Structure 1
Amino acid sequence: MITHELFHTLHQLSRHLTNKLNEALTPMGLYGSQWAVIFVLKNKGSLTQRELCDYLFVEAPPMTRNIQRLVKQGYVRQVSGKDKRAKYIELTEEALKLYPEWESVVNEVNQTLLKHFPQTSQEELLTLQSSWLKQLL
C-alpha cells in the first residue's frame, strides 16, 4: 500500500535530516532539537513552554529538558509573565550573538542536502507540506 511506503519514507527522511543536522551542530554544543527551539524563538519572539510544545509538536518532558539545557548553556532565559503563572522563554544576548554562526551551519547542511534537488521541486514540496500541515491543524 502506498500510504505505508509514503509515511515510512517520510520518517526515514526526517531521521536522516535530523542526523545530518546533529552532526553539523554538535561541535557547536547544540543538537537539532535545541536549534529548533532557538529558531522558533528568534522568529516568533518570547513564547511559553506550552506554545513551544504546540508549535514544534513536542511533548512537555523533552521540551523541559531542552529548555533546561539551553538555560544552562546561557542561550535562553525564563521570564515571568504579567500574571506570574506563565513563564516565557526568550533568547539571551549570547544566543542572539551566536545565532548567525548557527544559522550559517544549518544553511550549509540544508544546501548540501538539497544540491541535487531542483529549485522547482523544492518549491512544490514546500507548497505541498504547507497545505498538508494546515489541513492537519
Structure 2
Amino acid sequence: MTKEINEYLQKHDLYSSQWSILYCLKTNGPMTQSDIWRYLNVEAPTVTRTLVKLEEGGWINRTSGNDKRERLVSLTEKALESFPAVEEDVKRFEGEMTLSLTDHEQDQLFILLKKLGKTE
C-alpha cells in the first residue's frame, strides 16, 4: 500500500513517511523530534532522516527547544498552504482503497485501526 499512496503523493514531492509527519504536526502543532518518533512509533534515526528531507524541501522548520539537545519541529507556510491539497489526495486514495468494502466492513476496519492505534 505504501507504493500506491506514494504515487498519489508524488505530485507534491512527498512520500508516505513524510506525509505522516506533516499530518502529525498539523494535528498536534509544533512537537519535539522525540515526541514525533514516540507518537508515530518509529525509530528515532528514521524520523531524523525524514525530517532532514522535509526541511530541505521547505516543509518544516527545526529550531532549538528549551533544552539545547531538543529540536522543536513546526510546519512552514508552504506546508500550511499545501496541506489541504495533499490531504485531499490522501483522502481520495483512502476512498479508492475502501471502495470494494461495504459500509459495515468500512466501519469495522476503522474500529480495528483505531484499536490498533491505541495498542503500545
Q: TM-score, normalised by structure 1?
A: 0.81
Q: Distance in 1 between matches of 2:110 and 2:51?
A: 29
Aligned residue pairs total 120
Structure 1 residue runs of 4 or more that deviate by more than 4 Å after TM superposition:
none
Aligned match of 2:12: 28
Q: Runs of 5+ in structure 1 lacking a partner?
A: 1-16
> What secondary structure sits across from 2:3 in the alignment?
helix
Aligned match of 2:48: 64
Task: Select the structure with the greater relative contact order (CA < 8 A; seq sep ≥ 6).
Answer: 2
Instruction: Map 1:1-40 to 2 at 5 A.
Output: 17-40=1-24
Q: TM-score, normalised by structure 2?
A: 0.91
C-alpha RMSD of the superposition? 1.4
Q: Distance in 2 between matches of 1:46 and 1:71?
A: 14
Q: For residue 40 of structure 1, report the CA deviation from its aligned partner.
A: 0.5
> What secondary structure sits across from 1:117 in the alignment?
coil
Q: Distance in 2 between matches of 1:112 and 1:130?
A: 20
1:88-136 per-position Cα deviation (integer Å, ceiling 9, x unaligned)? 11101110000011011111111111111122212222222323443x3
Query: Residue 90 of structure 1: which of 74, 96, 100 is its match?
Result: 74
Query: Residue 53 of structure 1: which of 37, 56, 76 is its match?
Result: 37
Q: Runs of 5+ in structure 2 lacking a partner?
A: none
